[in-house]
């Protein structure tokens, strides 16, 4: 009886046909993200000056356009609060669903678990613990081309002189893209508007951080690609697990 209850608790609520359809969707998303990501990564690698040129277009009068802007600093603070509230809501949703052993706000316990695991695996583990603290890529505002003291490194070049909380990849873009993408997977009824919201939300976070001199465009592009892949794979192996 306990085994059955556990199985019911973590059921996705999908029929066999719906499970198959969702798995096809995951494969399509993964394929599209891989193709787009590889093409973009190759472009930044083949044309080394592309990152510098794009970052340079966000400069004026010797500084980055958005750095020091009260408006964009306020918007960044709003974003940080939004991410914090999202993670808190996910944790509360999971605990509530587990306590009642039923869907909470229309999401089964396994979907709340998915949202938590995707956020931990993506923005926390891959972005902040693995990449930002180990690749060593200097931020645009710190490289010699833009008045800093450190050498520019391409996205695939490890061993830069940045020692902590570095440029590759963008943490805030990771949080934004993961939040929207994981919600789109977890809540099918909201999938279409969330999918439509993803590109502008991604661009908004990327423009903010690149315009503040905190990240190169490749940092923001690949951050989004990595998060889409992680969100899709986590969905496959939690909600859609056999």
Condensed to tens digits (0 to 9), the pLDDT of residues 67-88 reads 999 999 999 999 999 999 999 9
d(CA 241, CA 12): 9
Instruction: Answer with the residue of higher pLDDT: 7 or 136.
Output: 136
Least confident of 4-13, 17-26, 127-136, 157-166: 4-13
Average of pLDDT values for 147-152?
A: 94
Q: Is the peptide bond before 70 cis (omega within 30 degrees of 0)?
A: no
Residue whose tokens read 């970052």? 55
Give the per-residue pLDDT at 110: 96
CB crowding 18-56: b at 16 or more within 10 Å, else e: eeeebeebbeebeeebeeebeebbeebeeeeebbbebbe
Q: Percentage of residues in the chain with pLDDT exceeding 90? A: 88
Q: Could you give the 3-state DSSP secondary structure of residue 219? A: helix
Q: Percentage of residues in the chain with pLDDT exceeding 70? A: 97
Q: Does residue 65 carry a pLDDT above 70?
A: yes
d(CA 127, CA 123): 5
Q: Could you give the 3-state DSSP secondary structure of residue 132? A: coil
Condensed to tens digits (0 to 9), the pLDDT of residues 180-197 reads 999 999 999 999 999 999
Confidence of residue 3 (pLDDT cuts 50, 70, 90): very low
Confidence of residue 4 (pLDDT cuts 50, 70, 90): very low
d(CA 152, CA 140): 8
Average of pLDDT values for 136-147?
A: 95
Q: Does residue 1 carry a pLDDT above 80?
A: no
| Nearest alpha carbon to residue 197 among 212, 209, 179 | 179
Average of pLDDT values for 155-183?
A: 94
Burial degree of 73 (CB within 10 A; 0-12, 13-18, 19+): middle
Radius of gyration of the chain (CA): 20
Q: Are 76 and 172 in contact (CB under 8 A)?
A: yes
d(CA 209, CA 141): 11
- DSSP states of 178-209: HHHHHHHHH-GGGHHHHHHHHHHHHHHHHHHH
What are the beta bridge partners of residue 63? Answer: 60
Give the per-residue pLDDT at 115: 98
How many other CB atoms sit within 10 Å of the CB of residue 99? 10
Confidence of residue 37 (pLDDT cuts 50, 70, 90): very high
Condensed to tens digits (0 to 9), the pLDDT of residues 203-238 reads 999 999 999 999 999 999 999 999 999 999 999 999
Average of pLDDT values for 76-102?
A: 96
d(CA 198, CA 205): 11
Give the per-residue pLDDT at 7: 52
pTM as predicted: 0.94
């Amino acid at each position: 009886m306990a085994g059955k209850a556990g199985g019911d608790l973590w059921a996705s609520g999908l029929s066999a046909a719906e499970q198959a359809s969702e798995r096809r969707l995951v494969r399509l998303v993964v394929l599209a993200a891989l193709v787009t990501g590889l093409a973009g990564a190759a472009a930044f690698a083949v044309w080394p000056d592309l990152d510098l040129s794009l970052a340079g277009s966000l400069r004026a009068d010797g500084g980055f356009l958005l750095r020091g802007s009260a408006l964009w600093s306020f918007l960044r603070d709003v974003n940080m609060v939004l991410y914090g509230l999202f993670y808190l809501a996910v944790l509360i949703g999971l605990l509530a669903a587990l306590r009642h052993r039923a869907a909470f706000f229309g999401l089964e316990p396994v979907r709340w678990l998915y949202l938590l695991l995707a956020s931990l695996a993506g923005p926390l583990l891959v972005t902040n613990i693995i990449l930002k603290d180990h690749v060593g890529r200097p931020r645009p505002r710190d490289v010699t081309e833009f008045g800093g003291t450190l050498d520019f490194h391409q996205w695939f070049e490890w061993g830069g002189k940045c020692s902590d909380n570095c440029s590759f990849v963008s943490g805030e873009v990771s949080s934004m893209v993961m939040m929207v993408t994981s919600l789109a997977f977890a809540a099918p009824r909201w999938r279409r508007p969330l999918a439509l919201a993803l590109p502008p939300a991604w661009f908004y976070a990327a423009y903010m951080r690149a315009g503040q001199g905190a990240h190169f465009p490749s940092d923001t592009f690949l951050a989004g690609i990595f998060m889409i892949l992680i969100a899709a794979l986590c969905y496959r192996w939690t909600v859609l697990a056999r």
